[in-house]
Amino acid sequence: MGSRFHHMLPVETRILGKGLFAKRSMKKGETIFIERPLVSAQFLWNTLYKYKACEYCLRALETAEGNARRLSGIPGLSLPHPELCRVRPEQHQACPQCQVMYCSSECRQAAADQYHRALCLGPSEDDPDHPINKLKDAWKSMHYPPETSSIMLMAKMVAMVKQAKDKAHLQKLFTHFCSRTANEEEEIAHKLLGEQFRGQLALLHSLFREALYDDHLSRWFVPEGFRSLFALVGTNGQGIGTSSLSQWVHACDALELPAQQREHLDSFIDQLYKDIEKETGDFLNCEGSGLFLLQSSCNHSCIPNAEASFPDNNFLLHLSALCDINQGEEICISYLDCCQRDRSRHSRHKILRENYLFVCSCPKCVSQMDELDVTSEEEEEEEGVAEGETEGDEMEDEMTDV
């Protein structure tokens, strides 16, 4: 959904200082808008751990039953109400050249038209010496799970410009995302990779250049431009999570059943999640990130009045009202998760400053201005655990659910 739709939407963007405002009153639970990302990509570790998603729209490709079997480690598991699973394996299609999978012919064609022709590796898909695979391997060695971004988001941006008829228009769309000064870009770039990889940004830049260089985008391939691109996806990327199993669970919740059947189904689902937790941990979803023009215009609040979700099991972002919103009121989301929002003002500010380079002045933060600058107990515990962790522990921990 691009800027040409703004006049049809119940919101307006104000570019100076960035912000999204309601053009009319909205009720709690109302969908404010549904938005398609300009570009999106599945996380590389997520792919490696066999979370199968459509390469274009990130729709989970496993059936709910197949998903449940893999996550629980119970190969003979049968789900009741299999008709509630909306995954259609018979519609899935592979790229004829590289065999990358899509959920439909429409997604395969859209990917080919937008970026995949420039990125398709053909028979070299599994060749570790192909420049794009070397870039992917370098990213994985520098950014252990849980991932917060992907080098392939940047690669797709380059490929989209390469394939675009109107290259200038597309480049202009990407400039709508928040830009930073050189010092801030450097800080975000290193934060995204982790302090221990400070010296390896140059290697990533070199591999990126070797794999994707294009004359039309020469400014993205010089060191400063590369850091700028890195900072852009680091501060604007929105996490996307899809799951055929959770979609099946939501459909089960909506069934009208006699009390005894409802109790039986609920206890089955509770046990399934316990089995999954024992086998796999918290991580359930196919995960990636995307750049959304409208959503990226939303400012942060520690008491947000809107939140993003992905109920269609693909990359379509639904922004919904968490409370009644008045006409003219600013629509704010939270850049922090629920646990982080419950921490002290000092802890919240530390996270926001390190990851987004701003100091929050939302009503909650203003009301807590007189609090002592103390770190939340949860954060101190996490830091203690982190200091005692080895790299192996970090890999073992894998990823967390969206």
Q: Any bridge partners for residue 287, and if so which?
A: 241
Name the least confident of 212-216, 263-267, 368-372, 385-389: 385-389
Summarize the confidence of residues 328-332 as an average pLDDT.
Answer: 93
pLDDT category, 200, cuts 50, 70, 90?
confident
The more confidently predicted of residues 74 and 191 is 74
Instruction: Examine the pLDDT at 381 and tell me if it is beyond 80.
Output: no
- Domain span(s) for CATH 2.170.270.10 in the chain: 8-37+292-369
Q: Which residues, in sequence order, are CB contacts of 48 under 8 Å at separation 6+?
A: 140
8-37+292-369 classified as CATH 3.40.50.620: no
pLDDT at 18 over 80: no
Mean local confidence (pLDDT), 139-150:
85
Buried b (16+ CB within 10 A) or exposed e, 322-341: eeebeeeebbbbbbbeeebb
d(CA 102, CA 394) in angstroms, rounded, equals: 31
Q: What percent of the chain has pLDDT over 90?
A: 58
Confidence of residue 246 (pLDDT cuts 50, 70, 90): very high
Mean pLDDT, the chain, as a whole number?
85
Report pLDDT for 231.
83
Q: Which residues of 79-99 are buried (b: 16+ CB within 10 A; e: fewer)?
A: beeeebbebeeeebbebeebe
Residue-level pLDDT at 7: 41
Q: Which two tokens stand for residue 323?
A: 């409370």
Name the band, by pLDDT with cuts 50, 70 and 90, for residue 354.
confident
pLDDT at 16 over 60: no
Q: CB under 8 Å to 218, separation ≥6 — which residues?
A: none
Q: Which range among 79-83, 239-243, 281-285 shows the weakest confidence by mean pLDDT?
A: 281-285
245 pLDDT higher than 80: yes
pLDDT digits (tens, 9 = 90+) for 111-135: 999 999 999 999 999 999 999 999 9
Higher pLDDT among residues 371 and 59, named by residue: 59
Q: Using a pLDDT cut of 70, give the percent of the chain over it.
A: 84
Q: What is the pTM of this model?
A: 0.84
Residue 302 has pLDDT above 70, yes or no: yes
Q: What pLDDT is recorded for position 399? A: 33
Q: Taking 70 as the threshold, does the pLDDT of residue 5 lie above it? A: no
Higher pLDDT, 369 or 3: 369
Q: Which helix (H) or strand (E) holds 39?
A: strand 39-42
Whether 192 and 201 have beta carbons less than 8 Å apart is answered as: no
